[in-house]
Structure 1
């Protein structure tokens, strides 16, 4: 462990862990891209400053990875978390070493690297990977800035905050943490009067501005999506959502790790009497945790919203328990074991002759989509070079990736209804488009939609059954002569 208290051995260890996870994902049988990941890939084919439900960073990174690797295969997309995790680990180590010492930095870095959320998402292409990286970079820059007040630290802080906002809007919680730190002690209140802090905010705003302008040009569609997702205002009391979010944090940071965090928060003295380092970390883990728990109580909050706060939480736990390292060791061993079990239990079950079942298949959402896409591709070729038509976002995203190559795909997008996906903005079916199309839909097909075409014919269904008990089934229709969305007399 002493060797890992040095930056380069620790970084190489993090690279090794990430490579193991990357290869383990490749060894899993029957795993395909989930619809959200396929959606991000489809966005990357047409670069823009924004998309329907997310800022653009994940699409940009996929595009960059494809250009570097010269391929758009699944293994290329999964290089994004492979690269991001070791860099975030090194940043957490640097932060812990500067706040306390090298041993604390090492323990904090390992707590972050081995936390179950990173193991579970290591093969998933999501905005959480760049968000965690930019959050860690911004936190390290802020600590340097408040201690040295050097211009380059403030400007880098603004840059990383802006890039974080382009990754996921939950980066806004960083501003809440900064405010909590400034107001948490009289000696820190001068931070709000520092013009360099506001300059950093200006840089972040400039970096984020193109996405804001894109949203203004598209009727604030991304922000409306978040508003509909949270359902804020629908009700003012959701104790079950709060309990679900809170309980999920034991799975995000680890059962022992999150327990240690709660103990650390309880053991610290009152906010104003805590050491400056502890107050800094409290501001960026305790304060955001309270805020997100409040949002969960008022509406809902997914478990991954808490992910970035564990950058500071890892350092805090490592610092509070540095004289009781046995607890940190227990947390690390348990988290590592959970990761190994997550990757290899399907192979162990198969070797033992135990059939996989949906009730204990953690990967069931990732199975069967590639086969559905390949079947759709064959139908489009066999029945006269059909163009793809879909009426559901998740299915559309999957088919755009697995049914390639596609010629001018279209989605069902009635003009009198608000857009429900980026595809309805980018590739809507319009009156007068003759087709012919391969319409793929969940059974039973909507009769009123079929009647809006002059000709339609039932084709063989698309069916994938990765194993008994898990079955994906869609109807396929050959349709042409679209007459418009208005009901025909």
Structure 2
């Protein structure tokens, strides 16, 4: 391990905090611009709706994101900026812990480089703007790595194992991926000669068992709901046979996406660092072994899985955290690696160029008419549509006895629930009669028999009055008008109906019961 004088170490630590402060200020400005120029993405609005009904689990995820959204909504009055600011705080905290972990394992300059490499990725930019389940998972995962390392240094300290228990537990309540963390601990203890006594340390086993015990309420909830989360997760691994050209294209797409979000040269450096550590496995230090075992085996499994099916770019994100620190050590020439100044320069240059281009492009798009094109168009118009839907709701004859129902994708129900000023409880109709979202798990319109319904159907065509499900369920269906929000060459459109006096409704049950 390279040794840096204390004075030099202090300089690099100060540089990190100055850099972090500057980046935070810039990102606050970008966050405010984002709030002003784009609405919540569908998943954010969906998780926010979860937060209004706290539970031990939801359709596809453990409860932490719902609990967080509920707390944010309560603290900020359901403000968009509250959700965006929470993402920024979680992303910043994760970066601080990454720097701290690299500092503990190596030295201040390597820690600074690790933090900069992470900062100069598109993945980190997105993590600090959008609040999804990956934000709390990465915070817990990174903190877990740091605390486990400290616990391994002082294995008789009960407080460190208790802290690790809580981190594993809260991480497990954030995303199922955290269940892999105890396996990482055991693998390191088995392969590190100095740490094999941990396998006989009851504190580690108690920490693992109690941390994983946090999943019990989640399992209990799933047992009561036909194991719907497991069924949903299984669909991620559905695959179909492909011809060689399509298989090659999909595999290239998986690799290309990872290289893009972690920047191409940096991604190549991370792979090279892991390969070098494997080749030098008899010479590497304990910190390098720790990072190698925390990253390479899992990433290799994802690489093999990508040969079989499409991989969502965020699935292996937690395992890239130790890979970045290992990559920084490789670039800096921490023993037994040799120095790679050329790799370091080009990693920073390419990463910096891509992130700068992405941020400048985002500013240009959000401040011009370009925000009406492409995927950003899906993040606009919901606020205006929600206000218009509220006007229809306020004009119905029985306002206090009228509920809101949205057809189409679950995002329509979630966005309307968030952006209608009264934040009504929005129901969703699933034509298949099966559970495809949290809206089918919650009680449906069957609990509103005798009420009227404001029904929002995507599109500008009035077809609902001819739908047999609705004509049989309501006494009468009336077409009230349309909502149309222009988005450049596109438009966000809904047809609005009033269903009078709901007579009956067939509930949806998980498992088809």
TM > 0.5: yes
- Within the alignment, does 1:473 sit opposite 2:493 as a pair? yes
Question: When the two structures are superposed, what TM-score results if normalisation uses the length of structure 2?
Answer: 0.84
Tell me which of 367, 374, 384 is aligned to 2:380: 367
Counterpart of 1:174 in structure 2 is 181
Pairs within 5 Å for 1:265-344:
265-270=274-279, 272-273=281-282, 274-322=284-332, 323-344=339-360
Secondary structure of the equivalent of 1:305? Answer: coil
Counterpart of 1:379 in structure 2 is 392
Pairs within 5 Å for 1:139-178:
139-149=145-155, 150-178=157-185
Pairs within 5 Å for 1:39-50:
39-50=46-57
Shift in CA distance, 194/81, structure 1 to aligned 2, threshold 3 Å: same
Shift in CA distance, 182/198, structure 1 to aligned 2, threshold 3 Å: same
- Within the alignment, does 1:436 sit opposite 2:452 as a pair? yes
Cα drift, residue 229 of structure 1: 3.1
- Within the alignment, does 1:207 sit opposite 2:214 as a pair? yes
- For residues 449 and 158 of structure 2, the distance between their equivalents in structure 1, rounded to whole angstroms, comes to 57
Secondary structure of the equivalent of 1:78? Answer: helix
Tell me which of 219, 226, 231 is aligned to 1:224: 231
Counterpart of 2:412 in structure 1 is 395
- Within the alignment, does 1:121 sit opposite 2:127 as a pair? yes
Shift in CA distance, 271/440, structure 1 to aligned 2, threshold 3 Å: farther
Pairs within 5 Å for 1:59-98:
59-68=66-75, 70-98=76-104
Shift in CA distance, 30/87, structure 1 to aligned 2, threshold 3 Å: closer
- Asked if the contact 1:387/1:438 (under 8 Å) is kept, the reply is yes
Tell me which of 256, 263, 266 is aligned to 2:265: 256
Shift in CA distance, 370/432, structure 1 to aligned 2, threshold 3 Å: closer
Deviations, residues 1-25 of structure 1 (Å, cap 9, x unaligned)? 9688554652453243133223213
Pairs within 5 Å for 1:346-361:
347-348=363-364, 358=373, 361=374
Question: When the two structures are superposed, what TM-score results if normalisation uses the length of structure 1?
Answer: 0.88
- Asked if the contact 2:84/2:130 (under 8 Å) is kept, the reply is yes
- For residues 365 and 139 of structure 1, the distance between their equivalents in structure 2, rounded to whole angstroms, comes to 37
Cα drift, residue 240 of structure 1: 4.8
Secondary structure of the equivalent of 1:268? Answer: helix
Cα drift, residue 124 of structure 1: 1.0
- Asked if the contact 2:434/2:440 (under 8 Å) is kept, the reply is no
Pairs within 5 Å for 1:184-199:
184=191, 190-199=197-206
Point out the more displaced range, 221-230 or 397-406.
Answer: 221-230
Counterpart of 1:412 in structure 2 is 429
- Asked if the contact 2:274/2:323 (under 8 Å) is kept, the reply is no
- For residues 350 and 318 of structure 1, the distance between their equivalents in structure 2, rounded to whole angstroms, comes to 34
Cα drift, residue 477 of structure 1: 1.3
Q: Structure 1: any 5+ residue segments left out of the alignment?
A: none
- Asked if the contact 1:249/1:306 (under 8 Å) is kept, the reply is no
Shift in CA distance, 30/105, structure 1 to aligned 2, threshold 3 Å: closer
Secondary structure of the equivalent of 1:202? Answer: helix
- For residues 342 and 61 of structure 2, the distance between their equivalents in structure 1, rounded to whole angstroms, comes to 41
Secondary structure of the equivalent of 1:304? Answer: coil
- Asked if the contact 1:252/1:307 (under 8 Å) is kept, the reply is no
Cα drift, residue 216 of structure 1: 2.3
Shift in CA distance, 92/406, structure 1 to aligned 2, threshold 3 Å: closer
Secondary structure of the equivalent of 2:39? Answer: coil
Cα RMSD for the two superposed structures: 2.9
Shift in CA distance, 42/275, structure 1 to aligned 2, threshold 3 Å: same
Secondary structure of the equivalent of 2:445? Answer: coil
- For residues 48 and 443 of structure 2, the distance between their equivalents in structure 1, rounded to whole angstroms, comes to 16
Cα drift, residue 467 of structure 1: 1.6
- Within the alignment, does 1:459 sit opposite 2:480 as a pair? yes
Secondary structure of the equivalent of 2:55? Answer: coil
Secondary structure of the equivalent of 1:297? Answer: coil
Deviations, residues 305-351 of structure 1 (Å, cap 9, x unaligned)? 12212220111111011033453343234334433332332554698
- For residues 52 and 214 of structure 1, the distance between their equivalents in structure 2, rounded to whole angstroms, comes to 10
Shift in CA distance, 347/247, structure 1 to aligned 2, threshold 3 Å: closer
Cα drift, residue 78 of structure 1: 1.1
Secondary structure of the equivalent of 2:236? Answer: helix
- Asked if the contact 1:285/1:309 (under 8 Å) is kept, the reply is yes
- Asked if the contact 1:462/1:474 (under 8 Å) is kept, the reply is yes
- For residues 354 and 462 of structure 1, the distance between their equivalents in structure 2, rounded to whole angstroms, comes to 21
Shift in CA distance, 280/98, structure 1 to aligned 2, threshold 3 Å: same
Deviations, residues 200-228 of structure 1 (Å, cap 9, x unaligned)? 11221233322222222322222222112
- For residues 269 and 162 of structure 1, the distance between their equivalents in structure 2, rounded to whole angstroms, comes to 31
Secondary structure of the equivalent of 1:377? Answer: helix
